[in-house]
Amino acid sequence: MILYGYLASLLYGGLCLALGLLLYKLGMNKKYTRKLVHILVGFEWVILHHFMGNSIHFLVVCLLFTGLLFISHVGHLMPMISSEGENSSGTVYYGVSMSVMALVSLFIPEMMLPFGAAVMITSFGDGSSGIFGQLIKKKNPRIFGNKTLIGTLAGFFASFASLYLFALAYEMPLKLYEMLMVALLAVLLELMTGKGLDNLSVPFGSLLLIYAFLYFPAVENYLCPILLTPIVILVASAKNVLTRGGIVCAVIVDIVISVSFGNFGFLALLAFLVLGVLSDKVKSAGTKKKSECRTYFQVLANSAPAAICSLFYCIRPNPIMLVAFLASMGEALADTLASGIGARDKHVFDLFRMKKCEVGVSGGMSVLGTVSAAFGASLMMLLGYLFDLLTVPQLAIGALAAFLGCIFDSFLGSWVQGKYRCEKCGAMTEREMHCSEKTTLVRGLRTVDNDMVNLFSNIFAAVVSIAAYFLFL
Protein backbone atom coordinates (compact mmCIF):
# COMPACT_ATOMS: atom_id res chain seq x y z
CA MET A 1 0.00 0.00 0.00
CA ILE A 2 2.81 2.41 0.86
CA LEU A 3 4.53 1.80 -2.49
CA TYR A 4 1.23 2.32 -4.30
CA GLY A 5 0.84 5.56 -2.36
CA TYR A 6 4.21 6.88 -3.56
CA LEU A 7 3.46 5.88 -7.16
CA ALA A 8 -0.11 7.24 -7.16
CA SER A 9 0.84 10.56 -5.56
CA LEU A 10 3.82 11.13 -7.85
CA LEU A 11 1.79 10.13 -10.91
CA TYR A 12 -1.11 12.39 -9.97
CA GLY A 13 1.18 15.32 -9.19
CA GLY A 14 2.94 14.82 -12.51
CA LEU A 15 -0.38 14.74 -14.39
CA CYS A 16 -1.48 18.00 -12.73
CA LEU A 17 1.74 19.70 -13.78
CA ALA A 18 1.54 18.21 -17.28
CA LEU A 19 -2.02 19.49 -17.72
CA GLY A 20 -0.97 22.95 -16.57
CA LEU A 21 1.98 22.93 -18.98
CA LEU A 22 -0.19 21.76 -21.89
CA LEU A 23 -2.76 24.52 -21.33
CA TYR A 24 0.07 27.06 -20.95
CA LYS A 25 1.59 25.94 -24.27
CA LEU A 26 -1.84 26.18 -25.91
CA GLY A 27 -2.00 29.85 -24.97
CA MET A 28 -3.76 29.95 -21.58
CA ASN A 29 -2.45 32.73 -19.36
CA LYS A 30 -0.30 31.34 -16.58
CA LYS A 31 -2.30 33.23 -13.96
CA TYR A 32 -5.09 30.74 -14.77
CA THR A 33 -2.92 27.62 -15.20
CA ARG A 34 -1.29 28.36 -11.86
CA LYS A 35 -4.63 28.53 -10.07
CA LEU A 36 -5.94 25.45 -11.89
CA VAL A 37 -2.95 23.38 -10.76
CA HIS A 38 -3.39 24.93 -7.30
CA ILE A 39 -6.93 23.52 -7.14
CA LEU A 40 -6.11 20.07 -8.54
CA VAL A 41 -3.10 19.49 -6.27
CA GLY A 42 -5.41 19.63 -3.25
CA PHE A 43 -6.56 16.09 -4.08
CA GLU A 44 -3.05 14.87 -3.27
CA TRP A 45 -4.17 14.77 0.35
CA VAL A 46 -6.99 12.33 -0.54
CA ILE A 47 -4.57 9.99 -2.33
CA LEU A 48 -1.95 10.13 0.40
CA HIS A 49 -4.50 9.62 3.16
CA HIS A 50 -6.02 6.64 1.36
CA PHE A 51 -2.74 4.79 0.75
CA MET A 52 -0.53 5.98 3.61
CA GLY A 53 -2.82 7.17 6.37
CA ASN A 54 -1.21 9.17 9.13
CA SER A 55 2.39 8.07 8.62
CA ILE A 56 5.92 9.31 8.09
CA HIS A 57 5.53 8.45 4.40
CA PHE A 58 2.81 11.11 4.08
CA LEU A 59 5.31 13.68 5.38
CA VAL A 60 8.08 12.42 3.08
CA VAL A 61 5.93 12.95 -0.03
CA CYS A 62 5.01 16.48 1.14
CA LEU A 63 8.69 17.28 1.68
CA LEU A 64 9.56 15.92 -1.77
CA PHE A 65 6.98 18.16 -3.43
CA THR A 66 8.14 21.14 -1.37
CA GLY A 67 11.71 20.57 -2.51
CA LEU A 68 10.57 20.27 -6.13
CA LEU A 69 8.58 23.51 -5.87
CA PHE A 70 11.55 25.29 -4.31
CA ILE A 71 13.92 24.16 -7.08
CA SER A 72 11.35 25.22 -9.68
CA HIS A 73 10.95 28.62 -8.03
CA VAL A 74 14.70 29.27 -7.86
CA GLY A 75 15.43 27.94 -11.34
CA HIS A 76 12.19 29.16 -13.03
CA LEU A 77 11.66 25.62 -14.31
CA MET A 78 7.85 25.50 -14.41
CA PRO A 79 6.42 28.76 -15.81
CA MET A 80 2.83 27.44 -15.76
CA ILE A 81 2.78 27.58 -11.93
CA SER A 82 5.12 30.53 -11.39
CA SER A 83 4.07 34.02 -10.38
CA GLU A 84 5.89 37.31 -10.73
CA GLY A 85 6.48 39.96 -8.12
CA GLU A 86 5.71 39.67 -4.46
CA ASN A 87 3.59 36.49 -4.82
CA SER A 88 6.35 34.48 -6.51
CA SER A 89 7.08 32.37 -3.42
CA GLY A 90 3.44 31.35 -2.94
CA THR A 91 3.78 27.89 -4.46
CA VAL A 92 6.70 27.07 -2.16
CA TYR A 93 4.70 28.26 0.87
CA TYR A 94 1.89 25.90 -0.17
CA GLY A 95 4.27 22.96 0.04
CA VAL A 96 5.68 24.21 3.33
CA SER A 97 2.22 24.48 4.89
CA MET A 98 1.33 20.93 3.83
CA SER A 99 4.63 19.61 5.21
CA VAL A 100 4.18 21.38 8.55
CA MET A 101 0.59 20.14 8.92
CA ALA A 102 1.67 16.59 8.02
CA LEU A 103 4.40 16.78 10.67
CA VAL A 104 2.00 18.07 13.32
CA SER A 105 -0.50 15.31 12.47
CA LEU A 106 2.16 12.68 13.24
CA PHE A 107 2.24 13.87 16.85
CA ILE A 108 -1.43 14.86 17.10
CA PRO A 109 -3.41 12.28 15.07
CA GLU A 110 -6.67 14.20 15.65
CA MET A 111 -5.23 16.91 13.40
CA MET A 112 -5.30 14.66 10.32
CA LEU A 113 -8.87 15.35 9.17
CA PRO A 114 -8.70 19.10 9.95
CA PHE A 115 -5.43 19.05 7.96
CA GLY A 116 -7.23 17.59 4.95
CA ALA A 117 -10.09 20.06 5.26
CA ALA A 118 -7.61 22.94 5.44
CA VAL A 119 -5.89 21.71 2.27
CA MET A 120 -9.22 21.60 0.41
CA ILE A 121 -10.16 25.08 1.61
CA THR A 122 -6.79 26.46 0.52
CA SER A 123 -6.91 24.72 -2.85
CA PHE A 124 -10.50 25.48 -3.84
CA GLY A 125 -10.99 28.74 -1.96
CA ASP A 126 -7.78 30.48 -2.97
CA GLY A 127 -7.85 28.96 -6.45
CA SER A 128 -11.44 30.01 -7.17
CA SER A 129 -10.80 33.47 -5.77
CA GLY A 130 -7.89 33.97 -8.15
CA ILE A 131 -9.68 32.61 -11.23
CA PHE A 132 -12.98 34.49 -10.83
CA GLY A 133 -11.31 37.63 -9.55
CA GLN A 134 -9.16 37.88 -12.68
CA LEU A 135 -11.69 36.49 -15.13
CA ILE A 136 -14.53 38.91 -14.33
CA LYS A 137 -13.51 42.51 -14.91
CA LYS A 138 -16.79 44.44 -15.12
CA LYS A 139 -18.53 45.57 -11.94
CA ASN A 140 -15.84 43.91 -9.88
CA PRO A 141 -14.32 46.59 -7.63
CA ARG A 142 -11.13 46.14 -5.69
CA ILE A 143 -11.90 45.95 -1.99
CA PHE A 144 -8.40 45.63 -0.52
CA GLY A 145 -5.10 45.85 -2.36
CA ASN A 146 -5.45 43.80 -5.53
CA LYS A 147 -8.29 41.68 -4.10
CA THR A 148 -11.64 42.04 -5.85
CA LEU A 149 -15.21 41.72 -4.60
CA ILE A 150 -16.22 38.84 -6.91
CA GLY A 151 -12.95 37.01 -6.28
CA THR A 152 -13.50 37.28 -2.53
CA LEU A 153 -17.10 36.06 -2.76
CA ALA A 154 -16.03 33.17 -5.01
CA GLY A 155 -13.34 32.25 -2.49
CA PHE A 156 -15.85 32.26 0.36
CA PHE A 157 -18.40 30.03 -1.38
CA ALA A 158 -15.70 27.66 -2.70
CA SER A 159 -14.16 27.38 0.78
CA PHE A 160 -17.54 26.61 2.33
CA ALA A 161 -18.54 24.11 -0.38
CA SER A 162 -15.21 22.25 -0.20
CA LEU A 163 -15.39 22.06 3.61
CA TYR A 164 -19.01 20.92 3.51
CA LEU A 165 -18.28 18.11 1.04
CA PHE A 166 -15.13 17.08 2.89
CA ALA A 167 -16.97 16.94 6.22
CA LEU A 168 -19.70 14.89 4.58
CA ALA A 169 -17.24 12.44 3.03
CA TYR A 170 -15.15 11.94 6.18
CA GLU A 171 -18.01 12.30 8.69
CA MET A 172 -16.57 15.29 10.49
CA PRO A 173 -19.16 16.50 13.07
CA LEU A 174 -19.07 20.17 12.12
CA LYS A 175 -22.19 22.31 12.38
CA LEU A 176 -23.28 24.34 9.39
CA TYR A 177 -22.59 27.70 11.02
CA GLU A 178 -19.13 26.44 12.08
CA MET A 179 -18.34 25.70 8.44
CA LEU A 180 -19.47 29.19 7.51
CA MET A 181 -17.21 30.66 10.21
CA VAL A 182 -14.21 28.69 8.93
CA ALA A 183 -14.89 29.85 5.35
CA LEU A 184 -15.18 33.45 6.55
CA LEU A 185 -11.89 33.22 8.44
CA ALA A 186 -10.17 31.70 5.40
CA VAL A 187 -11.31 34.49 3.10
CA LEU A 188 -10.30 37.16 5.63
CA LEU A 189 -6.84 35.65 6.02
CA GLU A 190 -6.52 35.51 2.25
CA LEU A 191 -7.41 39.21 2.08
CA MET A 192 -4.98 40.40 4.73
CA THR A 193 -1.88 38.36 3.83
CA GLY A 194 -0.03 39.18 0.64
CA LYS A 195 3.29 38.14 -0.89
CA GLY A 196 2.03 34.57 -1.26
CA LEU A 197 1.81 34.20 2.51
CA ASP A 198 -1.88 33.37 2.23
CA ASN A 199 -0.72 29.84 1.38
CA LEU A 200 0.51 29.70 4.97
CA SER A 201 -2.08 31.76 6.82
CA VAL A 202 -5.19 30.22 5.20
CA PRO A 203 -4.33 26.52 5.82
CA PHE A 204 -2.96 27.13 9.32
CA GLY A 205 -5.86 29.37 10.33
CA SER A 206 -8.45 26.97 8.91
CA LEU A 207 -6.77 23.98 10.53
CA LEU A 208 -6.74 25.57 13.98
CA LEU A 209 -10.33 26.77 13.88
CA ILE A 210 -11.66 23.42 12.60
CA TYR A 211 -9.67 21.58 15.28
CA ALA A 212 -10.99 23.96 17.93
CA PHE A 213 -14.59 23.45 16.81
CA LEU A 214 -14.15 19.68 16.96
CA TYR A 215 -12.34 19.35 20.28
CA PHE A 216 -12.78 22.64 22.17
CA PRO A 217 -16.48 23.67 22.20
CA ALA A 218 -15.59 26.70 24.36
CA VAL A 219 -14.07 28.30 21.25
CA GLU A 220 -17.54 29.70 20.52
CA ASN A 221 -16.87 32.20 23.32
CA TYR A 222 -14.01 33.54 21.20
CA LEU A 223 -15.57 33.67 17.74
CA CYS A 224 -15.81 37.48 17.67
CA PRO A 225 -12.08 38.09 18.18
CA ILE A 226 -11.12 35.20 15.90
CA LEU A 227 -13.26 36.36 12.99
CA LEU A 228 -13.42 40.13 13.44
CA THR A 229 -9.80 40.89 14.35
CA PRO A 230 -8.65 40.40 10.72
CA ILE A 231 -11.40 42.79 9.57
CA VAL A 232 -10.37 45.41 12.13
CA ILE A 233 -6.73 45.13 11.05
CA LEU A 234 -7.70 45.49 7.39
CA VAL A 235 -9.83 48.57 8.02
CA ALA A 236 -7.30 50.17 10.41
CA SER A 237 -4.53 49.66 7.86
CA ALA A 238 -6.56 50.84 4.86
CA LYS A 239 -8.02 53.92 6.61
CA ASN A 240 -4.82 54.89 8.46
CA VAL A 241 -6.64 54.75 11.79
CA LEU A 242 -3.52 53.31 13.47
CA THR A 243 0.17 53.42 12.67
CA ARG A 244 1.97 50.10 12.15
CA GLY A 245 3.22 50.22 15.72
CA GLY A 246 -0.31 51.07 16.83
CA ILE A 247 -1.69 48.04 14.99
CA VAL A 248 0.88 45.72 16.59
CA CYS A 249 0.10 47.03 20.09
CA ALA A 250 -3.65 46.87 19.42
CA VAL A 251 -3.35 43.21 18.37
CA ILE A 252 -1.35 42.36 21.53
CA VAL A 253 -3.92 44.12 23.74
CA ASP A 254 -6.71 42.40 21.78
CA ILE A 255 -5.17 38.98 22.42
CA VAL A 256 -4.75 39.61 26.16
CA ILE A 257 -8.28 40.97 26.66
CA SER A 258 -9.96 38.48 24.31
CA VAL A 259 -8.30 35.49 25.97
CA SER A 260 -9.46 36.80 29.36
CA PHE A 261 -13.02 37.82 28.48
CA GLY A 262 -13.77 36.23 25.09
CA ASN A 263 -16.43 37.85 22.92
CA PHE A 264 -17.30 40.39 25.61
CA GLY A 265 -13.74 41.71 25.92
CA PHE A 266 -13.29 42.02 22.18
CA LEU A 267 -16.60 43.84 21.72
CA ALA A 268 -15.62 46.29 24.46
CA LEU A 269 -12.41 47.04 22.56
CA LEU A 270 -14.29 47.25 19.27
CA ALA A 271 -16.82 49.68 20.73
CA PHE A 272 -13.99 51.93 21.92
CA LEU A 273 -12.21 51.80 18.56
CA VAL A 274 -15.30 52.39 16.41
CA LEU A 275 -16.78 55.16 18.56
CA GLY A 276 -13.34 56.72 18.93
CA VAL A 277 -12.90 56.88 15.16
CA LEU A 278 -16.41 58.32 14.73
CA SER A 279 -15.76 60.98 17.39
CA ASP A 280 -12.54 61.94 15.60
CA LYS A 281 -14.58 62.35 12.41
CA VAL A 282 -17.02 64.60 14.27
CA LYS A 283 -14.14 66.61 15.71
CA SER A 284 -12.49 67.14 12.33
CA ALA A 285 -15.76 67.75 10.42
CA GLY A 286 -15.86 71.14 8.78
CA THR A 287 -12.10 71.61 9.10
CA LYS A 288 -9.16 70.76 6.88
CA LYS A 289 -7.60 68.73 9.68
CA LYS A 290 -7.56 64.98 9.07
CA SER A 291 -8.63 62.43 11.66
CA GLU A 292 -5.80 61.40 13.95
CA CYS A 293 -3.71 58.32 13.17
CA ARG A 294 -3.07 56.85 16.60
CA THR A 295 0.42 55.68 17.58
CA TYR A 296 1.47 52.70 19.69
CA PHE A 297 1.77 54.84 22.83
CA GLN A 298 -1.70 56.30 22.34
CA VAL A 299 -3.06 52.75 22.05
CA LEU A 300 -1.27 51.71 25.24
CA ALA A 301 -2.30 54.86 27.12
CA ASN A 302 -5.96 54.05 26.46
CA SER A 303 -5.88 50.27 26.85
CA ALA A 304 -2.85 49.06 28.86
CA PRO A 305 -4.54 49.43 32.30
CA ALA A 306 -7.59 47.54 31.01
CA ALA A 307 -5.32 44.83 29.60
CA ILE A 308 -3.56 44.50 32.97
CA CYS A 309 -6.92 44.18 34.75
CA SER A 310 -8.00 41.49 32.30
CA LEU A 311 -4.71 39.64 32.82
CA PHE A 312 -5.28 39.59 36.59
CA TYR A 313 -8.83 38.36 35.96
CA CYS A 314 -7.52 35.61 33.68
CA ILE A 315 -5.05 34.44 36.33
CA ARG A 316 -7.61 34.56 39.15
CA PRO A 317 -11.22 35.35 38.15
CA ASN A 318 -12.68 37.97 40.46
CA PRO A 319 -15.53 40.45 39.84
CA ILE A 320 -13.34 43.26 41.24
CA MET A 321 -10.99 43.02 38.26
CA LEU A 322 -13.95 42.87 35.88
CA VAL A 323 -15.34 46.09 37.37
CA ALA A 324 -11.89 47.69 37.14
CA PHE A 325 -11.61 46.58 33.50
CA LEU A 326 -14.96 48.15 32.62
CA ALA A 327 -14.12 51.33 34.54
CA SER A 328 -10.82 51.68 32.69
CA MET A 329 -12.38 51.04 29.28
CA GLY A 330 -15.32 53.29 30.18
CA GLU A 331 -12.98 56.14 31.10
CA ALA A 332 -11.04 55.76 27.84
CA LEU A 333 -14.28 55.86 25.83
CA ALA A 334 -15.74 58.71 27.92
CA ASP A 335 -12.64 60.87 27.42
CA THR A 336 -12.49 60.09 23.70
CA LEU A 337 -16.15 61.04 23.17
CA ALA A 338 -15.82 64.14 25.36
CA SER A 339 -12.81 65.34 23.34
CA GLY A 340 -14.31 64.52 19.95
CA ILE A 341 -17.97 65.42 20.30
CA GLY A 342 -17.34 68.10 22.93
CA ALA A 343 -15.15 69.99 20.44
CA ARG A 344 -18.37 70.95 18.61
CA ASP A 345 -19.50 72.97 21.65
CA LYS A 346 -18.17 76.52 21.51
CA HIS A 347 -18.81 77.25 25.20
CA VAL A 348 -15.84 75.71 27.01
CA PHE A 349 -15.01 76.32 30.67
CA ASP A 350 -11.99 75.32 32.75
CA LEU A 351 -13.70 74.23 35.96
CA PHE A 352 -10.45 73.91 37.88
CA ARG A 353 -9.23 77.41 37.03
CA MET A 354 -12.72 78.90 37.03
CA LYS A 355 -12.38 80.65 33.69
CA LYS A 356 -13.34 80.25 30.05
CA CYS A 357 -10.87 78.63 27.70
CA GLU A 358 -10.46 77.91 24.00
CA VAL A 359 -12.06 74.90 22.31
CA GLY A 360 -9.69 71.93 22.22
CA VAL A 361 -7.46 73.05 25.09
CA SER A 362 -6.83 70.27 27.63
CA GLY A 363 -8.67 70.87 30.88
CA GLY A 364 -11.64 72.55 29.22
CA MET A 365 -15.12 71.17 29.80
CA SER A 366 -18.44 71.79 28.04
CA VAL A 367 -22.02 70.65 28.50
CA LEU A 368 -21.92 68.60 25.30
CA GLY A 369 -18.58 67.06 26.23
CA THR A 370 -19.72 66.18 29.75
CA VAL A 371 -22.90 64.53 28.48
CA SER A 372 -20.83 62.60 25.91
CA ALA A 373 -18.49 61.45 28.68
CA ALA A 374 -21.41 60.20 30.79
CA PHE A 375 -22.77 58.36 27.75
CA GLY A 376 -19.41 56.70 27.03
CA ALA A 377 -18.96 55.60 30.64
CA SER A 378 -22.49 54.17 30.76
CA LEU A 379 -22.17 52.42 27.40
CA MET A 380 -19.36 50.18 28.63
CA MET A 381 -21.42 49.22 31.66
CA LEU A 382 -24.38 48.45 29.39
CA LEU A 383 -22.20 46.00 27.50
CA GLY A 384 -21.36 44.26 30.79
CA TYR A 385 -25.07 44.15 31.62
CA LEU A 386 -25.99 42.63 28.26
CA PHE A 387 -23.48 39.82 28.84
CA ASP A 388 -24.89 39.34 32.35
CA LEU A 389 -21.43 39.51 33.91
CA LEU A 390 -22.05 41.88 36.84
CA THR A 391 -24.82 43.08 39.11
CA VAL A 392 -26.37 46.53 38.77
CA PRO A 393 -24.54 47.94 41.85
CA GLN A 394 -21.23 46.68 40.47
CA LEU A 395 -21.95 48.28 37.09
CA ALA A 396 -22.97 51.53 38.80
CA ILE A 397 -19.59 51.65 40.56
CA GLY A 398 -17.83 51.06 37.25
CA ALA A 399 -19.79 53.82 35.52
CA LEU A 400 -19.14 56.32 38.32
CA ALA A 401 -15.42 55.48 38.42
CA ALA A 402 -15.17 55.88 34.64
CA PHE A 403 -16.89 59.28 34.75
CA LEU A 404 -14.72 60.46 37.66
CA GLY A 405 -11.68 59.32 35.69
CA CYS A 406 -12.76 61.60 32.86
CA ILE A 407 -13.10 64.52 35.31
CA PHE A 408 -9.64 63.68 36.66
CA ASP A 409 -8.40 63.83 33.07
CA SER A 410 -9.64 67.43 32.84
CA PHE A 411 -7.95 68.24 36.16
CA LEU A 412 -4.60 66.90 34.95
CA GLY A 413 -5.05 68.67 31.63
CA SER A 414 -5.66 71.95 33.42
CA TRP A 415 -2.93 71.85 36.08
CA VAL A 416 -0.33 69.20 35.27
CA GLN A 417 -0.11 68.81 31.49
CA GLY A 418 2.51 70.97 29.82
CA LYS A 419 1.19 74.10 28.07
CA TYR A 420 3.34 76.12 25.70
CA ARG A 421 3.17 79.48 23.99
CA CYS A 422 4.34 80.07 20.45
CA GLU A 423 6.62 83.13 20.40
CA LYS A 424 5.93 83.62 16.70
CA CYS A 425 2.12 83.73 16.61
CA GLY A 426 1.32 83.98 20.34
CA ALA A 427 -0.96 80.92 20.32
CA MET A 428 -1.28 78.59 23.33
CA THR A 429 -0.43 75.01 22.38
CA GLU A 430 0.33 71.62 23.87
CA ARG A 431 3.25 70.98 21.54
CA GLU A 432 6.91 71.88 21.96
CA MET A 433 7.08 73.01 18.32
CA HIS A 434 4.73 75.48 16.64
CA CYS A 435 5.12 77.53 13.47
CA SER A 436 8.33 75.52 12.90
CA GLU A 437 9.84 77.06 16.05
CA LYS A 438 10.36 75.86 19.61
CA THR A 439 7.68 77.01 22.04
CA THR A 440 8.02 78.28 25.62
CA LEU A 441 6.66 76.31 28.58
CA VAL A 442 4.01 78.44 30.31
CA ARG A 443 2.69 76.04 32.94
CA GLY A 444 2.54 72.36 33.81
CA LEU A 445 5.21 69.71 33.45
CA ARG A 446 7.19 69.30 30.26
CA THR A 447 7.20 65.50 30.70
CA VAL A 448 3.40 65.23 30.87
CA ASP A 449 1.61 65.37 27.52
CA ASN A 450 -1.94 64.40 26.55
CA ASP A 451 -1.05 60.72 26.20
CA MET A 452 0.42 60.63 29.71
CA VAL A 453 -2.72 62.34 31.03
CA ASN A 454 -4.86 59.66 29.35
CA LEU A 455 -2.77 56.91 30.93
CA PHE A 456 -2.96 58.41 34.44
CA SER A 457 -6.72 58.97 34.12
CA ASN A 458 -7.21 55.41 32.98
CA ILE A 459 -5.31 54.08 35.98
CA PHE A 460 -7.24 56.47 38.25
CA ALA A 461 -10.60 55.08 37.07
CA ALA A 462 -9.48 51.48 37.69
CA VAL A 463 -8.13 52.29 41.18
CA VAL A 464 -11.27 54.24 42.16
CA SER A 465 -13.51 51.37 41.05
CA ILE A 466 -11.49 48.87 43.14
CA ALA A 467 -11.58 51.16 46.20
CA ALA A 468 -15.33 51.78 45.82
CA TYR A 469 -15.94 48.04 45.41
CA PHE A 470 -14.28 47.30 48.76
CA LEU A 471 -16.03 50.21 50.49
CA PHE A 472 -19.61 49.70 49.28
CA LEU A 473 -19.96 46.04 48.19
pTM of the model: 0.78
Least confident range of 36-45, 194-203, 332-341: 194-203
| Closest C-alpha among 268, 280, 267 to residue 239 | 280
The whole-angstrom distance between residue 276's C-alpha and the CA centroid of its chain comes to 17
423 versus 83: which is more confidently predicted?
Answer: 423
Q: Which residues of 59-69 are buried (b: 16+ CB within 10 A; e: fewer)?
A: bbbbbbbbebb
In this structure, what are the phi and psi dihedrals at residue 350, rounded to the nearest 5 degrees? -90, 100
Q: What is residue 268's predicted lDDT score, i.e. its pLDDT?
A: 93
Q: Does residue 290 carry a pLDDT above 70? A: no
Most confident of 288-297, 321-330, 336-345: 321-330
What mean pLDDT do residues 190-195 have? 80
Q: Where are the domains of the chain?
A: 2-215, 331-472
User: CA-based angle 27:120:193, to the nearest 5?
Assistant: 80
By residue count, the chain amounts to 473
| Closest C-alpha among 456, 442, 352, 461 to residue 400 | 461
For residue range 231-265, list pLDDT tens digits in order.
Answer: 888 778 777 888 889 889 999 999 999 999 999 99
Task: Specify the 3-state DSSP secondary structure of 440.
Answer: strand
For residue range 210-222, list pLDDT tens digits in order.
Answer: 999 999 988 989 9
Q: What is residue 213's predicted lDDT score, i.e. its pLDDT?
A: 94
Is the backbone of residue 196 left (phi > 0), alpha (psi -120 to 50) or beta?
A: left
DSSP 172: -
What mean pLDDT do residues 413-432 have? 82
What mean pLDDT do residues 20-46 have? 88
Q: What is residue 218's predicted lDDT score, i.e. its pLDDT?
A: 87
